[in-house]
Structure 1
């Protein structure tokens, strides 16, 4: 009799929707100061965007249905493309990506700027970008757009850790760094705190604006989609146009 009860209980647990549902993985990468890893799990999400996601999860009471996974940027992109239960933030919404992902939460619109320390470096035309070694976050929308402007044989150099480009800029291993102003400020603060001598960094040109989101796998099953929608909502429609390629548009700072 006891054995029959145990078998029945096991069957009921297996048949439960909760038992068969996988956790939803939230992939993210440290991009100080917007996303900072303080510890593992939801409580370890720091930075402006990290705190927003953590607070939303805790408020929903569904925190245990999600798993925060810290990985390099390219790995996060790979996972959100192939894992039907995956989310990824912060992720730039672009024309090319528009129909490849579900767009869940709009985090912010940020500008991407070009920075240099050499006073002789000037950008007056798109073709000027081809002259210089440009550091950028590997696999990012910034890298993709720079390659659009400069061609595949350009001197664009991707790094998996964007803050490392500040060290390369200071040491002269790259001529220009393409990044967000907040990332530049964070890198400079960290560099100074280590007692390093700092060469003056100047802003060359606004490259374009980026729309940062939390995105989800395009083929997310209904059970996961419903859970995500309950916790975060589901991003509204937004028209994303491909950036213009003319020198005039570039010089006016109207890209994207």
Structure 2
């Protein structure tokens, strides 16, 4: 194990040195796109937020690129990453449908998606996706859960622009199910000063519960992708990834956030 770790270090350092030499010829500016969520945006009210943006900043700085950061609705951000070159998008759920549409730089955090219902709505019973069409489902426009549920033939979807909108629609009983990650719902409960015991998971969305990633648009040159991947490897190996992401870096097969419900 010690020899393997050392070999990886030597490889990454050698690779990194070659990239730095090649980079002396020209500077590249990347467009970085995301939406405003607790994991991406750090406000004056909550300086503990924005870990993913901090990670992306560190990644691009270590890759020796310049970048411009753009916050926009997710559908717009996704379209840019899907159609333009030199675009970095995060946090992007890695799904089978998206696998060949992007270059996957590295994982930000494991993720576990569910359909949640109100605890008091014991009349809502969902044992499989086949049962979901009986209910109105709140989703965020073009998020992984929206695309996934549509692909599974779920018709009663009500897309909005943010998780916060669906959170309040569920509380007001304007929808009966709400698609969210467990960590995302816990964060919303904290921000909205709402007891999370009001919510229970009705169904885990196994098809998209794989992880949130930093990704590059498919038309991004290979040398840029390689430098970003090398930088991610160094950040991960040094322990900086775990330091930045903190408790979000729970084990892949264990949803530590769900245990808090």
> Do both share a fold (TM > 0.5)?
yes
Q: Deviation of residue 45 (structure 1)?
A: 10
Work out whether residues 103 and 225 of structure 2, in 8 Å CA contact, stay in contact via their aligned partners in 1: no
CA distance in 2, matches of 1:206, 1:132: 16
Q: Deviation of residue 232 (structure 1)?
A: 3.5
Aligned to 2:219: 219
Report whether the alignment pairs 1:24 with 2:25: no
Q: Deviation of residue 54 (structure 1)?
A: 2.5
Q: Secondary structure at the match of 1:128?
A: helix
Instruction: Give the one of 61, 64, 69 matched to 1:62.
Output: 64
CA distance in 1, matches of 2:226, 2:210: 28
Q: Deviation of residue 227 (structure 1)?
A: 4.7
Work out whether residues 60 and 228 of structure 2, in 8 Å CA contact, stay in contact via their aligned partners in 1: no
Superposed, 1:45-56 pairs within 5 Å as 46-56=49-59
- Cα 1:91/1:184, change in 2 over 3 Å: same
Question: After superposition, what is the alpha-carbon deviation per residue over 1:12-60, rounded to whole angstroms, capped at 9, x for unaligned?
Answer: xxxx943xx541111111222x222449xxxx994232222233344x2
Question: After superposition, what is the alpha-carbon deviation per residue over 1:189-228, rounded to whole angstroms, capped at 9, x for unaligned?
Answer: 22227xxx98822221222213211111112135644553
Aligned to 1:171: 172
Aligned to 2:237: none
CA distance in 2, matches of 1:112, 1:230: 29
For this pair of structures, how many residues does the alignment match? 205
- Cα 1:203/1:55, change in 2 over 3 Å: same
Q: Secondary structure at the match of 1:84?
A: coil
Q: Deviation of residue 88 (structure 1)?
A: 0.2
Tell which structure's C-alpha radius of gyration is larger: 1
Q: Deviation of residue 112 (structure 1)?
A: 0.5
- Cα 1:126/1:57, change in 2 over 3 Å: closer
CA distance in 1, matches of 2:98, 2:200: 32
- Cα 1:210/1:184, change in 2 over 3 Å: same
Instruction: Give the one of 204, 207, 210 matched to 1:206.
Output: 204
Aligned to 2:130: 127
Q: Deviation of residue 140 (structure 1)?
A: 1.3
Q: Deviation of residue 229 (structure 1)?
A: 4.3
Gaps of at least 5 residues in structure 2 are 1-23, 235-261
Work out whether residues 116 and 176 of structure 1, in 8 Å CA contact, stay in contact via their aligned partners in 2: yes
CA distance in 2, matches of 1:61, 1:108: 21
Aligned to 2:250: none
- Cα 1:231/1:199, change in 2 over 3 Å: closer
Superposed, 1:1-256 pairs within 5 Å as 17-18=25-26, 21-32=27-38, 34-38=39-43, 46-58=49-61, 60=62, 62=64, 65-117=66-118, 118-151=121-154, 154-192=155-193, 200-208=198-206, 209-222=209-222, 224-225=224-225, 227-229=227-229, 231-232=231-232
Q: Secondary structure at the match of 1:36?
A: coil
Q: Secondary structure at the match of 1:173?
A: coil
- Cα 1:130/1:30, change in 2 over 3 Å: same
